[in-house]
Structure 1
């Protein structure tokens, strides 16, 4: 089966429609969310090809397939992240500046900054006495590196 478009996301599928269908999941690492063309296997062993017509990243909860009996949904695998919780806007700016100099992609959830685990970043946070935790977190979107040169 080839998937060429995302039908919906799990949040927008009615609860009754979810209950009445067998749910299969495609487990992906966040890095795979940016791939428009890939081969995947559901947790029930069904092989799928994903070849999206529109340029769009995949997201946790995307519905790839749905019929009267079943539904196939993307589930992102939790990954090893540093969850940074600056105490002030000043501290947030300083952390963001230092991470930006390293060209590290970050995501934000409420008042927390999420970055993929890196021992050098962890050492910098310890050195600067910035509150953080190392956690397994499921992100909704891929960490996207922004192309940039200093030249």
Structure 2
């Protein structure tokens, strides 16, 4: 069985089976997967992609496998108010950590050092076993890319 096409979440229906993958195993091009029902499936895509929870993989025979995020050891980060949570989010981003935003909290992979930092910033970090499906990031394909504006053209501005 070969998976040959990525179908973004919401663009497909009726999966024949599913693959349960942790975050590290959801950015692939070619990889041997084991379905939930126990079958082997070769992921064989033209380029590496970041598989997201809810995506589908079209098999050569037309059937679809659902991609599901596996429960992992994570930290769910809460704060007393939105300002504190935004400040914590800035510190997490400054460390280039993958983050998942959920209503009222930020989820990251478990890291005891970061948990201590969060507590020091006035937040609370609760260890959980839960699916981790972080933001793909501003530089990921399909997000509009990365643009810089360097300098300016004097003809466009009145001085």
- Normalised to the residue count of structure 2, the TM-score between the two structures is 0.68
Instruction: Check if 1:98 corresponds to 2:91.
Output: yes
Say which SS state the counterpart of residue 85 (structure 2) adopts: helix
Say which SS state the counterpart of residue 91 (structure 2) adopts: helix
**Counterpart position of 1:38:** 31
CA pair 6-98 structure 1, distance change in 2 beyond 3 A: closer
**Counterpart position of 1:109:** 102
Instruction: Tell me which stretches of 4 or more aligned residues in structure 1 moved more than 6 Å.
Output: none
Q: Deviations over 1:11-33 (max 9, x none)?
A: 5555xxx4xx7x42212111111
- Normalised to the residue count of structure 1, the TM-score between the two structures is 0.71
State how far apart, in whole Å, the 2-side matches of 1:107 and 1:8 are: 18
Q: CA RMSD in A?
A: 2.9
Instruction: Check if 1:6 corresponds to 2:6.
Output: yes
Q: Which structure dedicates a bigger proportion of its chain to strand?
A: 2
State how far apart, in whole Å, the 2-side matches of 1:42 and 1:142 are: 24
Q: Deviations over 1:29-80 (max 9, x none)?
A: 1111111221111133321111223553212222224769x65222221111
- Between stretches 47-56 and 79-88, larger displacement belongs to 47-56
Alignment of structure 1 residues 25-104 onto 2, 5 Å: 25-53=18-46, 56-65=49-58, 71-104=64-97
Following TM superposition, by how much is the alpha carbon of 1:102 offset from its aligned partner in structure 2, in angstroms? 2.7
**Which protein is bigger by CA-based radius of gyration?**
2
Q: Which structure dedicates a bigger proportion of its chain to helix?
A: 1
Unaligned runs of 5+ in 1: 147-151
Q: Which protein, 1 or 2, shows the higher relative CO under an 8 Å CA cutoff with sep ≥ 6? A: 1
